[in-house]
Amino acid sequence: MTKPEMSVEIAGFKMRNPVMTASGTFGYGEEFAGYVDLESLGAIITKGLSLKPRAGNPTPRIVETQGGMLNAIGLQNVGIDAFIEKKAPFFRTITTPVIANFFGNTPEEYAEMAERLDRIPEVAAVEVNISCPNVKHGGIVFGTDPKSAYAVVKLVREATVKPVIVKLSPNVTDIVEMAHACVDAEADALSLINTLTGMAIDLNKRKPVLANVTGGLSGPAIKPIALRMVWQVARAVSIPVIGIGGIMTAGDALEFMLAGATAVQIGTANFLEPGTAQTIALGMEQYLVDNGIADIKELIGTLEV
């Protein structure tokens, strides 16, 4: 059989395969260069960026839980200026597209970030993290309120011509409502899910394990929830959906594609096996070969229910 077609396209940018690395789990790509062939990935997504460098939360920031981990990094990042100066030059040395994940504290900050990222040629697309509290509006998280989400995405949309992916929070009652708000604001694609809020307790100390008390749950434990949400959203909207949450194997990734995802992101799995994304891309291709499927796109959203 000839080599199956693995490439997919999201909002005008093409990837050699549907496997991307998730924000916050792959640094700025460079950190993993010695462990994985970066040229084997569909795309690399950066750590979440903000206008000013951000310190993040006190420690402990991470803890392992059954089948997953909690993190409360607090969006520590180098800031957009250091990103342009120190991190972006590396992207010129690879052909894999780089997507800048970013956030802001106010809608205006989101817009300014989008505008600045728009001028960076090394950035192929932007991913908007709306799981961030709106300091102007009493700290309510943009990503849990459809009106706030709409406002932010609209401003971002107007500030950049690059493809706009909006990353949805699962900590909502109705994720489809959030998805519709982002579509209405002319997002090009949706990625989901971000982490689920959780906590862990140290029984001996009778204290929370994380200094921040709560943190975001990721890893295999969240996969069933992520699959369900991707399935719900993909059925409801007509823009591409990117599946994220607990993907460890090629099989997991393919399940997300059946549920309606055009591409997937690998997060926590990068920590245990730095080469996971590459292994998954190869495994998906093998699945196509084994099942006589010529093009991976044939699988998208074909789940029979």
Partner 1 sequence: MQFKTMVISNAEVSPGYFRMRLTAPQEFAQAKPGQFVMVRVRDAVDPLLRRPFGIFDLGTFESEYPGAWPQIYFEILYRVVGKGTAMLSTLHHGDHLDILGPLGTGFTPAGPDTETILVGGGVGLAPLYYLAKEVVKSGRIRLFVGGKTQEDILCITEFERLGVETYVATDDGTLGASGLVTEVMERHLKGDVPSKAIFACGPMPMLKAVAEIARREAIPCQVSLEAYMACGMGACLGCVVKGRDHGEHTPDYRCVCKDGPVFDFQELQWV
Ligand X SMILES: Cc1cc2nc3c(=O)[nH]c(=O)nc-3n(C[C@H](O)[C@H](O)[C@H](O)COP(=O)(O)O)c2cc1C
Catalytic residues: 132
Under rule CB under 8 A, residue 24 binds partner 1: yes
The C-alpha atoms of residue 47 and residue 290 are separated, in whole angstroms, by: 35
The nearer residue to partner 1, 115 or 273, going by C-beta atoms, is 273
H-run or E-run covering 202 = strand 201-202
Q: Return the sign of the alpha-carbon dihedral for residues 86, 90, 92, 96.
A: negative
CB of 268 to ligand X, least distance (A): 3
The C-alpha atoms of residue 292 and residue 203 are separated, in whole angstroms, by: 53
> 54 contacts which partner out of partner 1, ligand X, none, CB within 5 to 8 A by kind?
partner 1
CB of 142 to ligand X, least distance (A): 12
171-210 positions binding ligand X, by CB under 6 A: 194-195
Under rule CB under 8 A, residue 213 binds partner 1: no
Site string for ligand X, 268-287 (x = CB under 6 A): xx------------------
16 and 43 Cβ atoms separated by less than 8 Å: no
Under rule CB under 6 A, residue 245 binds ligand X: yes
Under rule CB under 8 A, residue 222 binds partner 1: no
Angle at 158 between CA 156 and CA 162, to 5 degrees: 70
Q: What is the DSSP string of 241-282?
A: EEEESS--SHHHHHHHHHTT-SEEEE-THHHH-TTHHHHHHH
228-287 positions binding partner 1, by CB under 8 A: 248, 268, 270-275
The C-alpha atoms of residue 11 and residue 96 are separated, in whole angstroms, by: 16
**Dihedral-angle region of residue 12 (phi above 0 means left; psi in -120 to 50 means alpha; beta otherwise):** left
Under rule CB under 6 A, residue 267 binds ligand X: yes
72 and 210 Cβ atoms separated by less than 8 Å: yes
Under rule CB under 8 A, residue 53 binds partner 1: yes
- Binding segment for ligand X (CB under 6 A), chosen from 7-15, 149-157, 174-182, 215-223, is 215-223
Under rule CB under 8 A, residue 39 binds partner 1: no
Binding-residue total with partner 1 (CB under 8 A):
36
Structure tokens given for 212: 């921040």
- Binding segment for partner 1 (CB under 8 A), chosen from 58-66, 133-141, 174-182, 286-294, is 58-66
Where does residue 61 rank: exposed (0-12), middle (13-18), buried (19+ CB within 10 A)?
middle
> 167 contacts which partner out of ligand X, partner 1, none, CB within 5 to 8 A by kind?
ligand X
Closest Cα partner for 167 from 291, 49, 59? Answer: 49
Under rule CB under 8 A, residue 116 binds partner 1: no
Under rule CB under 6 A, residue 73 binds ligand X: yes
Helix crossing, 250-258 with 276-290: angle to 10°? 60
- Residue from 4, 29, 48, 170 in contact with ligand X (CB under 6 A): 48
CB of 227 to ligand X, least distance (A): 11
- Residue from 15, 51, 63, 75 in contact with ligand X (CB under 6 A): 75
**Binding stretches for partner 1 (CB under 8 A):** 24-27, 31-32, 34-35, 47, 53-56, 59-64, 66-69, 71, 73, 76, 219-220, 248, 268, 270-275
